[in-house]
Chain A
Amino acid sequence: DTEVTQTPKHLVMGMTNKKSLKCEQHMGHRAMYWYKQKAKKPPELMFVYSYEKLSINESVPSRFSPECPNSSLLNLHLHALQPEDSALYLCASSQERYGQPQHFGDGTRLSIL
C-alpha cells in the first residue's frame, strides 16, 4: 500500500486547459516534493516544500504552479502546458531532517495533446 496518494492517476489535457494534480500524505512528513519523470529517465526534481513553504524551485517554467495548502496536501497547478511536458509526475514526502528516506506516490501520467 502506498502511503502517498496522488490523483488523478492519468490525465489528458489540451494545451489551453487548466488542471491540477493532487498529492496527500498522512505520515506527518513536513517535506514534500514534486518530481517529473520522462520515459527511461530518472526523476527530476521540480519543487520542494518544507513546513508548507516553498524552499526549492528548480527553475521550473511558470506554467507549473505548486501549492501546499497544509502539511498533508501538495498541489501542482497546470496551465498552458506544452507537448514536451507529457511525463509521469511524482510526489514524494519525507521527514524534515538529515538523511530521511523519501516516499513516493504512484504518480500522475500526464499527456498533453
Chain B
Amino acid sequence: GENVEQHPSTLSVQEGDSAVIKCTYSDSASNYFPWYKQELGKRPQLIIDIRSNVGEKKDQRIAVTLNKTAKHFSLHITETQPEDSAVYFCAASMGTGRRALTFGSGTRLQVQP
C-alpha cells in the first residue's frame, strides 16, 4: 500500500519568514495530493491540493510543488503569520479504485511573533 513520509515533524519560524514542509510517497499510482491544516481541537481543513498532471499550484501565500519522478511534494508558506501555527498534514491518494487518503505523520508549525 501507499506510504507517505513527512518532514520535519516540528518547525519554528519567525513571523514573516517562509516555511517549507516536505513529503515523499511510495506508490507511483498516487495522483492526488492534498494538504490539510489542523488547529488544536479542530477538524482537518483542506488548504491546497495538487493533481499529478500539474507541477505547481499557488493560492496567495501558499504554494505546493510536485515532482512525480522523485515522488516528492512540498508545501511552501510565505510571509508566515501567527495564525498559521497549526499541524499540517500531507496526504496522497490514487484517483481510481482506492480513493482513500494516506496521511503523512504531520508537521507542527509554530510561528513566533
Contacts and interface: CB of A to CB of B under 8 A. Distances in A.
B49 A106 contact: no
Interface residues of A, number: 25
B43 A99 contact: no
Contacts of A78: none
A102 B46 contact: yes
B31 A33 contact: no
Interface of A: 2, 31, 33, 40-45, 48, 50, 56, 90, 94, 96, 98-107
Query: Looking at A33, A43, A101, A104, which has the most chain B CB atoms within 10 Å of its CB?
Result: A43
B16 to A, nearest CB: 27
B46 A103 contact: yes
27 contacts: A2-B43, A31-B99, A33-B100, A41-B105, A42-B103, A42-B105, A42-B106, A43-B44, A43-B103, A44-B103, A48-B99, A50-B99, A90-B44, A96-B99, A98-B96, A99-B31, A99-B32, A99-B49, A99-B95, A100-B99, A101-B34, A101-B46, A102-B34, A102-B46, A102-B101, A104-B43, A106-B42
Interface string B72-106: 00000000000000000100010110111111111
A98 B43 CA distance: 23
A105 B44 CA distance: 8
Given A42-B104, A56-B98, A101 B49 contact: yes
Q: Which 6 A-B pairs have the closest CB atoms?
A: A98-B95, A42-B103, A99-B32, A104-B43, A99-B51, A45-B100
